[in-house]
């Protein structure tokens, strides 16, 4: 009888140990499953939400790569060739964010010198190519920023903050256009189907010369 009782006790202890081990194994599997990103509904929802938001919200950092590694003077670019071959006689600046229709025109020597020095030292890098027709359809034609009048001609420059990327997609057999605005706070020059990176965006003298000219001469409308 004593031997039988010992055997029964051993069997009961063995069975209990098996149950405990099985329970621990199940708990570990459950913990691993719940911590796995693929099995977590909350992580899947978060990922989906971020993807959706990124496709609808403008980024602060452009994902585009420059078209060229070459830098060139503005005096060598398209419609601005020869712009700096003669002294600047007059400049018109067009509006600001608070009042885009107010413009200032000046011929003050100090303000002209500020612009002359900036434009002379400015280098441009081809950054993004766009279709003028597509841009006009989506966001309208660009507004002028600066008109430079020299002894030999008049040149209007179009500067833009950030880049408007135009995307062609096909939906149900029909081509559609979408735009995505990359804004990083840096001015770029837009000309002839190209957007150029400025070598010195921080030194762009628009605001300081606009404010000085407005104080001296006032502003006018179009």
Domain match, 15 and 89 both: no
The reported pLDDT for the residue numbered 97 is 56
The DSSP call for residue 193 is T
From 162-171, 186-195, 203-212, the region with the lowest mean pLDDT: 162-171
Token pair for residue 64?
Answer: 């585009």
Token pair for residue 118?
Answer: 């900036």
How many domains, in total, are found in the chain?
2
Domain match, 108 and 191 both: yes
- Position with higher pLDDT, 107 vs 164: 107
Of the pLDDT bands very low, low, confident and very high (cuts 50, 70, 90), residue 181 is low
The reported pLDDT for the residue numbered 50 is 28
Domain annotation covers residue 67:
no
Domain annotation covers residue 154:
yes
Domain match, 103 and 15 both: no
Domain annotation covers residue 96:
yes
The DSSP call for residue 221 is -
Range of the domain at 17: 2-56
The reported pLDDT for the residue numbered 36 is 38
Domain annotation covers residue 87:
yes
The DSSP call for residue 199 is S
Domain match, 52 and 105 both: no
- Rounded to an integer, the average pLDDT of 171-186 is 68
Helix axes 109-121, 206-217, angle to 10 degrees: 160
Of the pLDDT bands very low, low, confident and very high (cuts 50, 70, 90), residue 189 is very high
Sheet containing strand 88-96, strands side by side: 72-73, 123-129, 194-198, 174-191, 154-171, 146-150, 88-96, 99-106
Domain match, 137 and 184 both: yes
Q: In the chain, at which residue ranges do the beta strands (DSSP E only) sit? A: 72-73, 88-96, 99-106, 123-129, 146-150, 154-171, 174-191, 194-198
Token pair for residue 167?
Answer: 């995307």
Domain match, 80 and 185 both: yes
In DSSP notation, 101-147 reads EEEEEE--HHHHHHHHHHHHH-EEEEEEE--HHHHHHHT-SPPP-EE
User: Is residue 47 pLDDT above 90, yes or no?
Assistant: no
The reported pLDDT for the residue numbered 42 is 28
CA gap 131, 43 in Å, rounded: 40
CA gap 203, 87 in Å, rounded: 21
The reported pLDDT for the residue numbered 18 is 40
Average pLDDT of the chain is 70
Q: Taking phi first (over 0 means left), then psi (-120 to 50 degrees means alpha), and beta for anything else, what does residue 116 get?
A: alpha
Domain annotation covers residue 162:
yes
Domain match, 167 and 206 both: yes
Domain match, 120 and 213 both: yes
Using the structure block, give the residue that is written with the tokens 């900036």: 118
The reported pLDDT for the residue numbered 161 is 80
Using the structure block, give the residue that is written with the tokens 């400049």: 91
From 19-23, 66-70, 140-144, the region with the lowest mean pLDDT: 19-23
CA gap 222, 115 in Å, rounded: 22
């Amino acid at each position: 009888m004593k031997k039988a009782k010992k055997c029964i006790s051993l069997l009961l202890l063995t069975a209990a140990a098996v149950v405990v081990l099985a329970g621990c194994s199940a708990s570990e599997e459950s913990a691993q499953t719940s911590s796995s990103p693929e099995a977590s509904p909350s992580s899947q929802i978060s990922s989906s939400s971020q993807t959706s938001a990124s496709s609808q919200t403008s980024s602060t950092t452009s994902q585009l790569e420059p078209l060229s590694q070459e830098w060139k003077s503005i005096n060598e670019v398209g419609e601005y060739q020869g712009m700096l071959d003669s002294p600047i006689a007059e400049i018109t600046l067009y509006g600001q964010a608070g009042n885009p229709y107010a413009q200032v025109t000046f011929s003050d020597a100090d303000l002209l010198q500020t612009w002359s020095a900036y434009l002379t030292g400015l280098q441009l890098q081809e950054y993004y190519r766009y279709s003028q027709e597509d841009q006009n359809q989506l966001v309208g034609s660009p507004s002028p920023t600066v008109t430079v009048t020299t002894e030999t001609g008049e040149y209007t420059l179009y500067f833009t903050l950030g880049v408007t990327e135009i995307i062609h997609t096909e939906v149900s057999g029909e081509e559609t256009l979408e735009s995505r605005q990359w804004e990083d706070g840096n001015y770029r020059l837009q000309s002839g189907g190209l957007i150029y990176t400025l070598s010195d965006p921080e030194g762009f003298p628009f605001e300081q010369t606009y404010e000085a000219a407005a104080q001296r001469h006032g502003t006018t409308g179009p």
